[in-house]
Amino acid sequence: MAENTQVQLVPKQASAPLNRFATPLDVKNLVAQYGTPLYLVDEDTLHAKARELQRAYSKFKGPVKVAYSIKANFSPAIVRAFMKDGLTFDLTSLGELHFIRQCKADPENVIYTSVTEEPEEYVEVLRSGVRRIVVSSHKGMMNLALAAGKVGVRPLTMIRVNPEVATDAKVRASYKNGKFGVPFNGGTIDSATKMVKYLMGSDLLKFEGFHFHLGSQITDFSCYTHALDKMDAFMTKMKKEYPNFQVNTFDIGGGTPVFYNDPVPTPAEMAQNHLVRLNQLAETHGVFTLMIESGRFLVAESSILVSRIVNTKEYNEHKIVIVDAGYHILLDAALLKQEYPQEVIPVVDSQDRTTGLATPAAKNTHLAGRLCDTYDVFPLSKASDMSGADVGNYVSFYNVGAYSVVFNMPFHCQTKPPVVMKDSDGKYRLVRKGTTYEQLFVEEGGDIA
Ligand SMILES: Cc1ncc(COP(=O)(O)O)c(C=O)c1O
């Protein structure tokens, strides 16, 4: 972990309100129709988040593009919603490209950042009309050049830099000798210095700019400050070596945080940390398009997972509440110990007979999933309310739109829950069917004799 772990900006809100876009009555009706577990998505929240992120950087001197990192949630319904906002799509695999093409998004609005960077992969990407590619290694860049020659186009090529700054985040992507990007000068061909040199003299690839991604759920923004200072120094050095060196696009990656357990700074507060530096960069090195990537922030608050309490047991002042969800549909609860805010939605009469109030939460309530696995216990958020946690009632998990649906897995022969979207006109519509045991059996080869 980085030593510099102080949160720089104190968030103004004491706590973030939960997005209860579905009323308890809506939840009851939808569960009656689709059962539990059930994901609910709110389209208006998606649009609101896109606007909020765009607004946060509106004081930047040049054009600003917000790119949705579809790895966070590749639901076609969500992709189509963001197409209405004119977002760019940040893709990282041919599978994601397939989804974007099926949704008929404009390839002009795609930035492709691969980890594998294979020649055939790049051929397919270029043939699809995508022109903005981020390369993360020297070999990857040469593969792109090969593909460009084959397809007969000259893609706009950005270099993914690993600024090697300490990042205090739930998921870190910038650290010394890390997997992502190249250092400024690593002493081998896998360095930004050598890659700029190649690009400045290449007829196959056109140098477009730089990209870095520091991590996810970042609340200490000093890593951006350090990374931008390093970028500034590097760009000054490159300009001295290549008089026609010009950055057209500068992409500062993702990381905008989301409320789970503790209040987090808003995108505006985050932007405030680095807008002065970004504007200085534009003044010193010429105006560029600023790209902001985001997965988590754009989708997390749009979604609720509704589960049903199927069992409870009590001993030694501990109450174990078992729901029909599990980490197979909310992986980060186990992987990152993510504290999704939870709330009981009462459906059965769970009034305490003496007080007339909902059964108060036991002193030590443990919310457990349905899997036969030790890690299948959901950490409670400070915002969670477990009063009324009795069999038959529902438990809603909030802010689950990012990195959950995409991780659905069949551990213990579990099926995928349906996804229902509340459209901007207020109507609910099924956007993903749930799967059945029979489908899973066939998928696993059960029909192959
Ligand atoms: C290159 C890149 N950009 C953007 C993101 C999105 O990050 P976040 O969801 O924190 O906004 C990721 C996440 O892994 C990423 O790898």
Q: Is 67 in the pocket of ligand 1 (CB under 6 A)?
A: no
User: Cα of 286 to ligand 1 centre, how many Å?
Assistant: 26
When mean pLDDT is compared across 10-14, 78-82, 117-121, the lowest value belongs to 10-14
Tell me if 196 sits within 8 A of 185, measured CB to CB: no
In three-state secondary structure terms, 113 is: strand
**Taking the chain, what is the end-to-end CA distance rounded to the nearest angstrom?**
51
Q: Is 69 in the pocket of ligand 1 (CB under 6 A)?
A: yes
pLDDT (0 to 100) of residue 355: 66
Question: Could you tell me the pLDDT band of residue 103, with boundaries at 50, 70 and 90?
Answer: very high
Closest listed residue to residue 284, CA positions, set 334, 206, 228: 228
Mean pLDDT computed over 137-161: 98
Q: Is 253 in the pocket of ligand 1 (CB under 6 A)?
A: yes
- Residue 221's φ and ψ, nearest 5 degrees, are -85, 5
Closest listed residue to residue 97, CA positions, set 130, 65, 60, 73: 130
pLDDT digits (tens, 9 = 90+) for 403-412: 999 999 999 9
> Which tokens hold the place of 423?
């459209």
| Top mutation candidate among 160, 170, 172, 216 for ligand 1, by most atoms within 8 Å of CB | 216
Separation CA 32–CA 226 (nearest Å) = 52
Q: Is 296 in the pocket of ligand 1 (CB under 6 A)?
A: yes
User: Cα of 212 to ligand 1 centre, how many Å?
Assistant: 10
**Quick one: CA dihedral 22, 25, 26, 29, positive or negative?**
positive
pLDDT (0 to 100) of residue 6: 35
pLDDT digits (tens, 9 = 90+) for 370-393: 999 999 999 999 999 999 999 999
User: Is the pLDDT assigned to residue 335 strictly greater than 70?
Assistant: yes
User: Cα of 426 to ligand 1 centre, how many Å?
Assistant: 30
CATH fold group of domain 43-300 = TIM Barrel (3.20.20)
Separation CA 41–CA 24 (nearest Å) = 15
Atom of ligand 1 nearest to the CA of 257: 10
Tell me if 304 sits within 8 A of 37, measured CB to CB: no
Q: Is 256 in the pocket of ligand 1 (CB under 6 A)?
A: yes
HSE (CB half, 13 Å, CA atoms) of 349? Answer: 2
Separation CA 115–CA 69 (nearest Å) = 14
pLDDT (0 to 100) of residue 176: 77
Tell me if 9 sits within 8 A of 221, measured CB to CB: yes
When mean pLDDT is compared across 43-57, 245-259, 321-335, 353-367, the lowest value belongs to 353-367
pLDDT (0 to 100) of residue 14: 41
The catalytic site residues sit at 372
When mean pLDDT is compared across 27-41, 136-150, 188-202, 337-351, the lowest value belongs to 337-351
Query: Which residues sit opposite 69 in a β-bridge?
Result: 90
User: Cα of 395 to ligand 1 centre, how many Å?
Assistant: 29
- Rounded to the nearest angstrom, the gap between the alpha carbon of residue 43 and the centroid of all alpha carbons in its chain is 17
Q: Ligand 1: which residue has its CA nearest to atom 12?
A: 254
Query: Which residues sit opposite 314 in a β-bridge?
Result: 319
Separation CA 418–CA 433 (nearest Å) = 5
pLDDT digits (tens, 9 = 90+) for 3-41: 333 333 334 444 568 999 999 999 999 999 999 999 999
HSE (CB half, 13 Å, CA atoms) of 133? Answer: 39
Give the start-end residues of each E strand in 316-409: 318-323, 342-345, 364-368, 377-378, 394-398
Q: Is 90 in the pocket of ligand 1 (CB under 6 A)?
A: yes
pLDDT (0 to 100) of residue 77: 98
User: Cα of 171 to ligand 1 centre, how many Å?
Assistant: 9
Tell me if 373 sits within 8 A of 400, measured CB to CB: no
pLDDT (0 to 100) of residue 13: 43
Tell me if 34 sits within 8 A of 307, measured CB to CB: no
pLDDT (0 to 100) of residue 11: 40
pLDDT (0 to 100) of residue 3: 36
When mean pLDDT is compared across 243-247, 328-332, 351-355, 362-366, the lowest value belongs to 351-355
Helical segments of 262-368, H only:
267-285, 296-299, 332-335
Q: Ligand 1: which residue has its CA nearest to atom 4?
A: 254
Radius of gyration of the chain (CA): 24
Beta-sheet pairing, 303-315 with 64-69: unpaired
HSE (CB half, 13 Å, CA atoms) of 393? Answer: 22
The rounded percent of the chain whose pLDDT value lies above 90 is 88
Q: Is 316 exposed, middle or buried (0-12, 13-18, 19+ CB in 10 A)?
A: exposed
Domain ranges of the chain: 43-300, 303-443
| Top mutation candidate among 66, 70, 71, 256 for ligand 1, by most atoms within 8 Å of CB | 71
Place of tokens 């216990």: 377
303-443 homologous superfamily: Lyase, Ornithine Decarboxylase; Chain A, domain 1 (2.40.37.10)
Q: Is 155 in the pocket of ligand 1 (CB under 6 A)?
A: no
User: Is the pLDDT assigned to residue 292 strictly greater than 60?
Assistant: yes
**Rounded to 5°, angle at Cα 235 from 233 and 241:** 110
- Residue 104's φ and ψ, nearest 5 degrees, are 65, 40
pLDDT (0 to 100) of residue 97: 98
User: Is the pLDDT assigned to residue 173 strictly greater than 90?
Assistant: no
pLDDT (0 to 100) of residue 15: 55
Q: Ligand 1: which residue has its CA nearest to atom 7?
A: 254
pLDDT (0 to 100) of residue 175: 76
- Residue 63's φ and ψ, nearest 5 degrees, are -65, 150
In three-state secondary structure terms, 287 is: coil
Tell me if 337 sits within 8 A of 375, measured CB to CB: no
Q: Is 215 in the pocket of ligand 1 (CB under 6 A)?
A: no
| Top mutation candidate among 293, 296, 303, 407 for ligand 1, by most atoms within 8 Å of CB | 293
In three-state secondary structure terms, 148 is: helix
User: Is the pLDDT assigned to residue 356 strictly greater than 70?
Assistant: no
User: Cα of 254 to ligand 1 centre, how many Å?
Assistant: 4
Q: Is 211 in the pocket of ligand 1 (CB under 6 A)?
A: no
**Quick one: CA dihedral 259, 265, 267, 273, positive or negative?**
negative
Mean pLDDT computed over 177-201: 92
Atom of ligand 1 nearest to the CA of 256: 11
Question: Of 161-165, 289-293, 360-364, which one has max mean pLDDT?
Answer: 289-293
Mean pLDDT computed over 124-146: 98
Q: Give the DSSP letter string of 154-220.
A: --EEEEEB-------EEEE---TT-SSSB-S--SSSSSHHHHHHHHHT-SS-EEEEEE---EEEE--
User: Cα of 215 to ligand 1 centre, how many Å?
Assistant: 7
pLDDT (0 to 100) of residue 350: 65
Query: Which residues sit opposite 251 in a β-bridge?
Result: 211, 291
Q: Ligand 1: which residue has its CA nearest to atom 16?
A: 213
User: Cα of 70 to ligand 1 centre, how many Å?
Assistant: 9
User: Is the pLDDT assigned to residue 257 strictly greater than 90?
Assistant: yes
In three-state secondary structure terms, 319 is: strand
